Amino acid sequence: MKDKLVRFGVSLEGALLRKFDAFIGAEGYSNRSKAIADLIRKEFVSDVFARGGAVAGAVTIVYDHHRREVVNRLLDIQHNHGGIIISAQHVHLDHDNCLEIIAVKGPGAKVKELADSLKAVKGVKHATLSVTTAGK
């Protein structure tokens, strides 16, 4: 069931509001309501993540597949975190490099632990963790 929209007034310094309007314009928003709602949800997601609550997200890693011990280590880590991994997509970027996008859902602390473990593997050139809401 869709929740009813509620209007409320916000008072801001003029300079701050002008900066906000320029910012959301550049981000592609056509009105302030959606931009403010997104900012609020972003803060909620980061708060849930910081408290170890349930989040969803993606860990993205790039590594050199010629180093076989890297591949094995990455697989071991992923198998040890099977409970929070939904899927993994492997892309052969070029002759040397592989890109992996690992979709995750679970407690923020476990998601962070997985991302940190993958990032710390010698031979992983870059790793990012993107966290979003688990939908609640």
- The binding site for Ni ion (CB under 5 A) comprises 65, 92, 98
Q: State the nearest-atom distance from the C-beta of 22 to Ni ion, in Å.
A: 42
Dist. CA 110–CA 85, nearest whole Å: 10
Backbone angles phi, psi at 75, to 5 degrees: -65, -45
Shortest spacing between CB 63 and Ni ion, in angstroms:
9
With respect to Ni ion, which residue has the nearer C-beta, 49 or 63?
63
Specify the residue, 32 or 66, whose C-beta has the smaller distance to Ni ion: 66
Using CB positions, name the residue nearest to Ni ion.
98
Minimum Å gap between C-beta 51 and Ni ion is 36
Note every long-range contact of 116-119, with CB atoms under 8 Å and residues 24 or more positions apart, other chains counting.
Answer: 117/77, 117/81, 118/59, 118/61, 118/74, 118/77, 118/78, 119/61
For the chain, how many residues are written?
Answer: 136
Which one-letter amino acid corresponds to residue 98?
A: C
Nearer to Ni ion, 62 or 109 (CB): 62
CB of 108 to Ni ion, least distance (A): 29
Q: For Ni ion, which is the closer residue by CB, 51 or 92?
A: 92
